[in-house]
Structure 1
Amino acid sequence: MKKLIIVFSFISGAAFAQDINVLQGDFAFLKDQKEVNVEFDYSNFTMMKENKPEAQYVEEHKADLDKKAKGNGNIWEKKWIAAKDMIWTPKFLEIANIVLTKEKKDLNFQEKLNTPYTLIVSTVWIYPGWDAGIMKQPAKVTTNLKFVETANKSNVLLEISSIDAPGDQWGNNFSNESRIGEGYAKTAKTLSKLIAKKAYK
């Protein structure tokens, strides 16, 4: 039985592997930077396999929750809106900086900094996953990561596509918003490891 579990875990991990690609530019400009400003753009992403606009997903999910208990849809919507500032953004920044510190790189990501360069994290697509106790499926988060000149944001120095970053935790996690947050954490971890490898040659 143990062998079967190991094999299943391997297959499951492979099925939800993150795909990260450098679309343009290089990492050289980051070598001498101590801080990079970060902006998060949640304004235009789709969801689920059907690529529903976020607004459509929210209305449909609210309706489903209200069928089970009236008023729960509005309660959930407040949590969903808050998750962007309270879970997803902090998770990205926290893990990005932890990884860079572990890699002994003197670079820090924060919001609202006055720095030469800005990282724009644009959410492209989200799949919230699910957790039914015995069985579960990780969330998946696709983002566009664009490093630009702060004073001239049309000047793109580096652009990276992160596709299907998996969001999961040990044990059970019944919160869609929290699982999605782990997808942002995975995105940040992969990005910081890439920077540590490529920017400090």
Structure 2
Amino acid sequence: MKKQITLTITLLFTSLIFAQKMKIIDGNFDFIKGQKEINVEFNYDNLKLFKDNLTNKEYVEQRSADLEEKGKGKGKAWKKTWEASREIIYAPKFIELMNRDLYEKQGITFEEGLTEAKYTLTVDVVWIYPGWNAAVMRQPAKLSTVLKFVETANRDNVALEITSQNAPGNRFGGTFSNEDRIGEGFAKTGKTLSKLIMKKAF
């Protein structure tokens, strides 16, 4: 019993160590006022995973091979889920939480495909730790991104750049799905960024 309590405390402490950190690298929030819509784009070209900094290709190959050994077709099925999660989980979670404050309180819409919007928010996903769940114990996912607000017509003109490190991702009650945990990391990033904008711009 004491061992179990110690492990639980250790995991909680670890989670606190890896708390999300947002840092303003360049620019300010002045451009936000007066905007009614902002385009959102997600980029995974620089993505690394786990402490080993695996590329997405390396991770997919290793994970697919491991699952195929456990059952024919499992690796291929997982690969489809992993790739589809960017569109059906990660982007919607981020955008939903961005709009929760900024659209409902300030009337600013964040959405993909708004090519006529003056500004574009680029979400460069640079690091993911999927976390794990062993029922009794679990570790949340962690997500690091570079968030840039650029002029849509001139991407070299950066109005604001922010780094977000180790955004935690986990569902209440836990989940055995890596993709769901990562999705909550995107939700946390969107929520924290929207609150930062609310604080600094309005």
In which range does the TM-score fall when normalised by the shorter chain? over 0.9
1:168-198 deviation per Cα after TM superposition (whole angstroms, max 9, x unaligned): 1111201101100000000000000000000
How far apart, in 1, do the equivalents of 2:137 and 2:130 lie? 15
How far apart, in 1, do the equivalents of 2:174 and 2:91 lie? 22
Q: Counterpart of 1:110?
A: 111
- What pairs with 1:73-88 in structure 2 (closer than 5 Å)? 73-88=75-90
| Alignment partner of 2:177 out of 175, 178, 200 | 175
Residue 57 of structure 1, CA deviation: 0.4
How far apart, in 1, do the equivalents of 2:141 and 2:201 lie? 29
1:66 aligns with 2:68: yes
Q: Counterpart of 2:138?
A: 136
| Paired residue secondary structure (1:146) | strand
1:107/1:43 CA distance change after superposition, 3 Å: same
Q: Counterpart of 2:38?
A: 36
So what's the TM-score if we normalise by structure 1?
0.92
| Paired residue secondary structure (2:19) | coil
Q: Which runs of 5+ in 1 are unaligned?
A: none
> 2:15–2:140: 8 Å Cα contact kept in structure 1?
no
| Paired residue secondary structure (2:26) | strand
How far apart, in 2, do the equivalents of 1:175 and 1:99 lie? 28
Residue 76 of structure 1, CA deviation: 0.1
1:97-136 deviation per Cα after TM superposition (whole angstroms, max 9, x unaligned): 113256x222220011111100000100000000111100
Bigger mean CA offset, 105-114 vs 158-167: 105-114
| Alignment partner of 2:188 out of 157, 174, 186 | 186
How far apart, in 1, do the equivalents of 2:37 and 2:46 lie? 27
Q: Counterpart of 2:13?
A: 11
Q: Counterpart of 1:151?
A: 153
How far apart, in 1, do the equivalents of 2:189 and 2:27 lie? 19
| Alignment partner of 1:120 out of 106, 122, 138 | 122
How far apart, in 1, do the equivalents of 2:67 and 2:100 lie? 37
Q: Percent identity?
A: 52
Q: Which runs of 5+ in 2 are unaligned?
A: none
1:140-180 deviation per Cα after TM superposition (whole angstroms, max 9, x unaligned): 01000000001100100100000010001111201101100
Q: How many residues align?
A: 196
| Paired residue secondary structure (2:106) | coil
How far apart, in 2, do the equivalents of 1:86 and 1:19 lie? 26
Residue 10 of structure 1, CA deviation: 5.9
Tell me the C-alpha RMSD between the 2 structures.
1.8
1:17-67 deviation per Cα after TM superposition (whole angstroms, max 9, x unaligned): 101100000001001111101111122200000001010000000111111
